[in-house]
Amino acid sequence: MTLSLVNARLVDPESGTVSTGGLRLDAGHIVERLDKDAKPAGRVIDCGLKYLAPGLVDMGVKVCEPGERHKESYRSAGLAAAAGGVTTMITRPDTTPAIDNPETLEFVTRRANEASPVNVLAMAALTKGRDGREMTEIGFLMDAGAVAFTDCDRVVTDTKVFSRALTYAQGLGALVVAHPQEPGLSAGACATSGKFASLRGLPAVSPMAERMGLDRDIALIEMTGARYHADQITCARALPALERAKRNGLDITAGTSIHHLTLNALDIADYRTFFKLKPPLRDEQDRLAVAEAVNSGLIDVICSMHTPQDEESKRLPFEEAASGAVGLETLLPAAMRLHHAGLIDLPVLWRAMSLNPAKRLGLASGRLSVGAPADLVLFDPDAPFLMDRATLRSKSRNTPFDGARMQGRVLATYVGGACVYERST
């Protein structure tokens, strides 16, 4: 069915512009850009001058199938993604068991296709069991549909194993996603080192651990020529190394989480475990430096790092509680904090949340160009609301934004031209 979305403000991350116009959709793709005076065809939806942008491509979502379906299923994650304007979830392999063989990958792909209203693509483990000892069958996993390879927050400490995996991935053109961290320094830490963590009596880690981990990985990328993506860069001290690596022509990109862009180390003052993340929240100077790195393009990707944890995992002393926060539904309104603060404008935000992750993974989405998939989000960046975690569609509701005043509402989400979410009020 032909669908025309008219009278919209189009956020185009490719051209870096916001302009008034519309889109004509047919057969799951964008078939025409409409200017203000164009005559629409088919079913017409007036967007009321709200903002229309490519759907978000969230690179690093944990869905807890198999093994921990009580925390998150593909059905609940898909509904949360649709309500958050996320049209493509790139899922992590840190499940129980890990997604480290073609059979498990085929199982989760089938479950995702059956249950999720949005697109789902899976990353596979880089080493068997994410144990850092023996690489997985990267070629077979690519044939089964893996879009990248990662051991998530488990650092491969054996540099020989990691270098061999990078070499093998390079030969196949596979993307390796790694967690830059020096694991010895960061073991047991739940806060960023400094006076504040000391006053709270929390075990802490210096941001230098992230810099050291990134430096090691950059040396191995230089040695092997592999395609590499750092999942989370969260501190200022890591940015010069990243800049040098890019300037030297290495095939490296980097991401950061929306929580590290909008929260800081002071938020853990009340020992609320919803603010316990990995890596821990950083100082305000780091937050601002990372936001500037996103704005300049040095950091390529913003993701939710959606990590569901049940109540039992979080209702523990801060040191003992599980790390992580859900973010599929809060990614867009949290990103609006950066926009309203004047730190990052809308086209740059969508470059980081949609276009760049799509390009890094070789996807056609993340664009408003003719021929691109009709994966879109219609949103109001100014709509205020009070975040209530009880309204979240995720099975786990461990959001640090519970009770926060936020701006930015998703009004509708389209996947392949079909409306998978529409806000009722």
Q: How far apart are alpha carbons 280 and 399 in whole angstroms?
A: 15
Q: How far apart are the first and last CA of the chain?
A: 26
* pLDDT value, residue 329: 97
b/e 102-112 (16+ beta carbons within 10 angstroms → b): bebbeebbebb
Which residues make Cβ contacts (< 8 Å) with residue 339, sequence separation at least 6?
Answer: 345, 346, 349, 381, 408
* pLDDT value, residue 101: 97
Express each pLDDT in 128-138 by its tens digit.
999 999 999 99
| Cβ-contact 349, 342 below 8 angstroms | no
| Cβ-contact 265, 279 below 8 angstroms | no
Helix (H) or strand (E) holding 23: strand 17-26
* pLDDT value, residue 37: 78
Does the pLDDT of residue 38 top 90, yes or no?
no
Express each pLDDT in 255-278 by its tens digit.
999 999 999 999 999 999 999 999
Does the pLDDT of residue 307 top 70, yes or no?
yes
* pLDDT value, residue 425: 67
CA torsion through residues 11, 14, 20, 25, sign? negative
Q: How far apart are alpha carbons 368 and 14 in whole angstroms?
A: 8
Neighbour-count burial of 321, counting CB atoms closer than 10 A to its CB (0-12 exposed, 13-18 middle, 19+ buried):
buried
* pLDDT value, residue 1: 81
| Cβ-contact 265, 303 below 8 angstroms | no
Mean pLDDT for the stretch of residues 38-65: 95
- Strand, coil or helix: what is 93? coil
Express each pLDDT in 97-139 by its tens digit.
999 999 999 999 999 999 999 999 999 999 999 999 999 999 9
| Strand positions, DSSP E, 212-287 | 227-230, 252-257
Mean pLDDT score across all residues of the chain: 97
Mean pLDDT for the stretch of residues 361-388: 97
* pLDDT value, residue 219: 98
Does the pLDDT of residue 424 top 90, yes or no?
no
Q: How far apart are alpha carbons 33 and 10 in whole angstroms?
A: 10
Express each pLDDT in 378-421 by its tens digit.
999 999 999 999 999 999 999 999 999 999 999 999 999 999 99
Which domains does the chain possess?
A: 58-360 (3.20.20.140)
b/e 349-382 (16+ beta carbons within 10 angstroms → b): bbbbbbbbbbbbbebebbbbeeebbbbbbbbbbe
* pLDDT value, residue 41: 87
Report the candidate in 359, 347, 355, 234 with the shortest Cα–Cα distance to residue 299.
Answer: 234
**pTM for this one?**
0.96
| Cβ-contact 39, 380 below 8 angstroms | no
Express each pLDDT in 197-223 by its tens digit.
999 999 999 999 999 999 999 999 999
